[in-house]
Chains A and B, each alone.
Chain A
Amino acid sequence: DARVTQTPRHKVTEMGQEVTMRCQPILGHNTVFWYRQTMMQGLELLAYFRNRAPLDDSGMPKDRFSAEMPDATLATLKIQPSEPRDSAVYFCASGLTRTSVTGELFFGEGSRLTVL
């Protein structure tokens, strides 16, 4: 059963600490998206990769957030230093270029981050 895998599912940390969230896209998918979900803002696109290359990170706060794809099976989203306003559920989604063009993305279960 192919699915997007995210770790950790839950993370509680203190302000100023570094947080790294990981995503394993569905095998064979060549696009990876990072979204953030909050009650106030809903689902916001943070960054997007195609064939491991970052193509759009305009939705990401550049000073503290960074996103990378060290290889085709791993995408990471790092926050350093973390702040309470970063508390949210972070979703990773993957797709194929063809389906990504049509918007058909497969989402992971999310990483719920709480920054105290």
Chain B
Amino acid sequence: GQQLNQSPQSMFIQEGEDVSMNCTSSSIFNTWLWYKQDPGEGPVLLIALYKAGELTSNGRLTAQFGITRKDSFLNISASIPSDVGIYFCAGSSALIQGAQKLVFGQGTRLTINP
């Protein structure tokens, strides 16, 4: 089946540093999404991308839908302690009776040293 390769698996950074993570796929996707999961919680949508080449920002977060439609990246600028968590990319290429079947990456665990 479809798989997403997300990297890095984990990051240890200092507060204030910028963060970059990415996802690649061997398949073409028509939607890329980035979710964040806090400990003991479910994933929460951060950014959604629907067009190849699209660059979208949400506060300190910026994500891009790759031109080839097989990759996406997420950048976080000036990291703060509340950015700690697991970030998941998710993609979809298929419509199942009106709903997209999302495939999730393995996640990037972000740890921030104050």
A, B in one complex: yes
Binding site for B on A (CB under 8 A): 4, 31, 42-43, 45, 48, 50, 55-56, 91, 93, 97, 100-110
Report chain B residues within 8 Å CB of A105. Answer: 45, 102
Binding site for A on B (CB under 8 A): 31, 33, 40-45, 48, 50, 88, 90, 92, 95-102, 104-107
Q: Determine how close the nearest CB of chain A comes to the CB of B99; give it in whole angstroms.
A: 4
Does B40 contact A56, Cβ atoms closer than 8 Å?
no
How far is it, in angstroms, between the C-alpha of A91 and the C-alpha of B102 when the chains are bound? 14
Does A102 contact B100, Cβ atoms closer than 8 Å?
yes
Does B97 contact A50, Cβ atoms closer than 8 Å?
yes
Does B99 contact A50, Cβ atoms closer than 8 Å?
yes
Report chain A residues within 8 Å CB of B98. Answer: 50, 97, 100-101
Report chain A residues within 8 Å CB of B43. Answer: 43, 91, 107
Closest 9 CB pairs of A and B: A107-B42, A43-B104, A100-B99, A103-B33, A42-B106, A55-B97, A107-B43, A56-B96, A103-B100
How far is it, in angstroms, between the C-alpha of A91 and the C-alpha of B92 when the chains are bound? 19
How far is it, in angstroms, between the C-alpha of A42 and the C-alpha of B88 when the chains are bound? 10
Does A91 contact B42, Cβ atoms closer than 8 Å?
yes
CB closest residue in chain A, given B38: A109
Does B99 contact A48, Cβ atoms closer than 8 Å?
yes
Does A102 contact B50, Cβ atoms closer than 8 Å?
yes
CB closest residue in chain A, given B41: A109
How far is it, in angstroms, between the C-alpha of A110 and the C-alpha of B86 when the chains are bound? 15
